[in-house]
Amino acid sequence: MIRDSLILAKRSITKMFRNPEQFIDVTVQPIIMTVLFVFIFGGAIAGSTGKYVEFALPGIIVQTIMFTSLTIGVNLNTDIEKGIFDRFRSLPIARSAPLFGAVLGDIVRHSIAITVTLVFGAIIGFEFQTPWWHVAIAIIVIIAFAVSLCWVSVLIGMLARSSGAVQGISFLIVFPLTFGSSTFVPASTLPTWLQGWVAINPVTHVIESMRGLLTGSTDVAGDTLTGQILWVIVSCIVLVAIFFPLATWAYRRKI
Amino acid sequence: MTAAIEAHGLVKHFGKTKALDGIDLTVEEGRVLGVLGPNGAGKTTAVRILATLLRPDAGTATVAGLDVVHQAKAVRRTIGLTGQFASVDEDLTGMQNLVMIGQLLDLSTAQAKARASELLAEFDLTEAAGRLAKTYSGGMRRRLDLSASLIGRPAVVYLDEPTTGLDPAKRDDVWEMIRVLVRQGTTILLTTQYLEEADALANEITVIDHGRIIAHDTPQGLKRQVGGQTLEVRPNSLSDLPRIRELLVRYGTREPELPAPDLLAVPVADETALTHVVAALAAEKIVVSELSLRLPSLDEVFYSLTGTTKREEARDDESTAKTRKGAAA
């Protein structure tokens, strides 16, 4: 099963390089977002672009990964629609191999997106304030969260009728999660009702963990870096506990 | 001879719709069975069950002696699948598609590449090997689909409507490839909407409708049953119709009919009728704009077998027909 999953992961990576749209998602898009937020909004939000890049870059990484992790449902749905899954199913491979192949492929995509954003950030003035192993932990935290969240997308991908519907539903979920957080502005500047949501939004804790791990600062008062990371770990466990069984149930029903 | 495919009493429901209502199929090793039927008759459902993609609600089926439900994985090593479903990946090249499937069939990368090159050459796709499958023409796509199903050298191959939507020249190409497979000893189950295709390729034909078998025979036997070939004549001038009609009565096996106001059609016993009619027309100095010999269409097959045309049936039963289509899609 591991070999089959790797072969299928290679498929999704090959496709990414062959398909400009998907490749842009993980390379050009985070760069555009960084340029947009840092150079256009940076001065207004933080007083200078230099200050804002330190604040926004961790958020931009999380945002990019959030959107990337939800494409798995769209891709699986397209594969089923186009009959590619029927081809796989007619082969003597494990039923779960196409699913795990897709997840493995996504981890590679995430790594590319993170690397691109960090390197580009460093070029335009992002300074790493922490030891290298903090950066490594930051990458692990965000990928772990993405892999936990992708089961939501898999579930939607298995239940929705068309890949367009999967895309629509996924956006409805990702938007409040990504923008209703401290991605682009400190939570303290938000209206009180929104602060309530931001405080319980797991994405906020992912972003604060990233900030703490990359720049040494946290924005949400009363929580240490360790506290933020523990929040993320709990969120991952809850997401996986609920959505992994549901997603694999829906997958087995369909496959 | 032993049976490569054997199915007994296959039943499959989709909600309230009965897609298969007790189907028995037997295909001897190295033979070709044509399954003929309209859209939504249950052809695809039957193939999906035999390819382990669906579980039957009732009945049993074995492929190469292996049970399709309980020994599904072993069955998958034996079969190849080509058709409306079971597609290749459009965002990979022809080569990448075949290599990936080879690797999934436990070939080493080198073996998979060698086998892929071999098949691409065999199916005349070597030049297109490095291009994305979505840039392929319809005919090339079918050839790639077919080669994808042959990588593991399957003993049994399912072809689900392999030529639907292809122009006649491309269709002949696919037929030739199927004949090559047959010569190599592959057992084939072919579904089609065209009697002509089943006649050209199959040793035996099973006609199904509404999930039931309504006829099973050799192509010769089936053609005898449904009236064999039809000779059609379109006169240049309508005033010649009565004379042509008189002439056709002599060579036809039944009364000539008028399917269109300017077209006469008559069932004939065999091809020799064409020569006689041409000679007779020439002798009588009648000019015709069209003269052709053709096998009955699916509509005519159904008319002969069931006494109802599909159109009448669709009127009575439109809602069921629609759900049946939905279930098969």
Average pLDDT, stretch A225-231?
Answer: 87
Distance from CA of B104 to the nearest CA of A (A): 6
How does pLDDT run across B73-120, given as a tens digit for each residue? 999 999 999 877 668 888 899 999 999 999 999 999 999 999 999 999
Tokens 């992708």: give the residue: A150
What's residue A138's pLDDT? 92
Interface of B with A in 74-93 (CB under 8 A): 74, 76-77, 79-81, 84-93
Instruction: Say what the ipTM of the complex is.
Output: 0.84
pLDDT, chain A, mean: 88
DSSP H or E segment with residue B244 = helix B241-251
pLDDT, chain B, mean: 85
How does pLDDT run across A105-139, given as a tens digit for each residue? 999 999 999 999 999 999 988 888 888 888 999 99
CA separation for the pair B270, B91 (Å, rounded): 49
What's residue B250's pLDDT? 85
What's residue B313's pLDDT? 44
Selected residue of B91, B93, B146 to mutate for chain A interface (largest A Cβ count, 10 A): B91
Selected residue of B54, B84, B85 to mutate for chain A interface (largest A Cβ count, 10 A): B85
Phi, psi values for residue B80, rounded to 5°: -130, 145
Residue ranges in chain B modelled with pLDDT below 70: 1, 85-86, 227-228, 307-329
Helix (H, G, I), strand (E, B) or coil at B135: helix
Distance from CA of A7 to the nearest CA of B (A): 7
Selected residue of A10, A17, A90 to mutate for chain B interface (largest B Cβ count, 10 A): A90
* Dihedral sign, Cα of residue B221, residue B222, residue B223, residue B224: positive
Show the DSSP H helices in B108-193 as ranges: 109-122, 138-150, 168-183
Cβ separation of B101 and A91 shorter than 8 Å? yes
How does pLDDT run across A1-15, given as a tens digit for each residue? 889 999 999 998 988
Residues of chain A with pLDDT > 70, as a percent, come to 98
CA separation for the pair A207, A148 (Å, rounded): 15
Q: Tell me if chain A has a CB within 8 Å of the CB of B100.
A: yes
Q: Which of B52, B80, B104 sits opposite A93 (nearest CB)?
A: B104
CA separation for the pair B295, B293 (Å, rounded): 7
**Amino acid (1-letter code) at residue A132:** W
What's residue B94's pLDDT? 93
Helix (H, G, I), strand (E, B) or coil at B8: strand
Residue A202 to residues A182, A194, B158, Cα–Cα distance (Å): 11, 14, 49
The pTM score is: 0.80
Structure tokens given for A83: 């009959």
Distance of CA B159 to the CA centre of its chain: 8
**Amino acid (1-letter code) at residue B10:** L
Residue of A nearest to B80 (CA): A90
Q: Tell me if chain A has a CB within 8 Å of the CB of B214.
A: no
**DSSP summary character for residue A178:** H
Residue A200 has pLDDT above 70, yes or no: yes
Cβ separation of B87 and A86 shorter than 8 Å? yes
Q: Please name every residue paired with B230 in a beta bridge, in sequence order, or none if there are none.
A: B267, B294
Angle at B256 between CA B254 and CA B261, to 5 degrees: 160
Q: Which of A11, A18, A92 sits opposite B100 (nearest CB)?
A: A11
Structure tokens given for A70: 């939800």
Show the DSSP H helices in chain A as ranges: 2-18, 20-26, 28-35, 42-46, 49-69, 71-82, 84-89, 97-123, 132-159, 163-179, 192-200, 202-215, 225-254
Structure tokens given for A97: 């191999």
What's residue B86's pLDDT? 65
CA separation for the pair A206, A223 (Å, rounded): 13
How does pLDDT run across A36-73, given as a tens digit for each residue? 888 888 888 888 888 888 888 999 999 999 988 888 99
Structure tokens given for B116: 């892929």
Cβ–Cβ < 8 Å for B229, B270: yes
Structure tokens given for B155: 């003993």
**Amino acid (1-letter code) at residue B63:** V
Phi, psi values for residue A249, rounded to 5°: -65, -45
Phi, psi values for residue A167, rounded to 5°: -60, -50
Phi, psi values for residue B161, rounded to 5°: 45, 65
Helix (H, G, I), strand (E, B) or coil at B204: strand
Chain B hits for A18, Cβ within 8 Å: 91-93, 132
Strand B66-67 and strand B58-63: the pairing is antiparallel
What's residue B325's pLDDT? 40
Q: Which residues of A touch B (CB under 8 A)?
A: 3-4, 7-8, 10-11, 14-15, 18-19, 82-84, 86-93
Cβ separation of B86 and A10 shorter than 8 Å? no
Selected residue of B89, B98, B149, B150 to mutate for chain A interface (largest A Cβ count, 10 A): B89
Q: Which of B77, B87, B132 sits opposite A87 (nearest CB)?
A: B87
Cβ separation of A91 and B87 shorter than 8 Å? no
What's residue B307's pLDDT? 65
CA separation for the pair A215, A134 (Å, rounded): 10
Q: Which of B88, B92, B104 sits opposite A91 (nearest CB)?
A: B104
Distance from CA of A158 to the nearest CA of B (A): 17
Please count the residue pairs, one from chain A and one from chain B, whose beta carbons lie less than 8 angstroms apart: 67
What's residue B1's pLDDT? 54
Cβ separation of A90 and B84 shorter than 8 Å? no
Average pLDDT, stretch A154-178?
Answer: 89
Burial class of residue A2, CB neighbours in 10 A (0-12, 13-18, 19+): exposed
Angle at B271 between CA B268 and CA B275, to 5 degrees: 100
Residue B297: closest CA among B170, B193, B159, B200:
B193
Chain B hits for A10, Cβ within 8 Å: 100
Residue of B nearest to A5 (CA): B104
Cβ–Cβ < 8 Å for B9, B178: no
Tokens 């597609």: give the residue: B87
Q: Which of B91, B104, B105 sits opposite A15 (nearest CB)?
A: B91
Helix (H, G, I), strand (E, B) or coil at B19: strand
Residue A104 has pLDDT above 90, yes or no: yes
Residue A196 to residues A55, A176, A207, Cα–Cα distance (Å): 21, 13, 16
Residue partners of B7: CB distance under 8 A and separation at least 6: B23, B24, B25, B26, B46, B49, B50, B59, B60, B61, B62
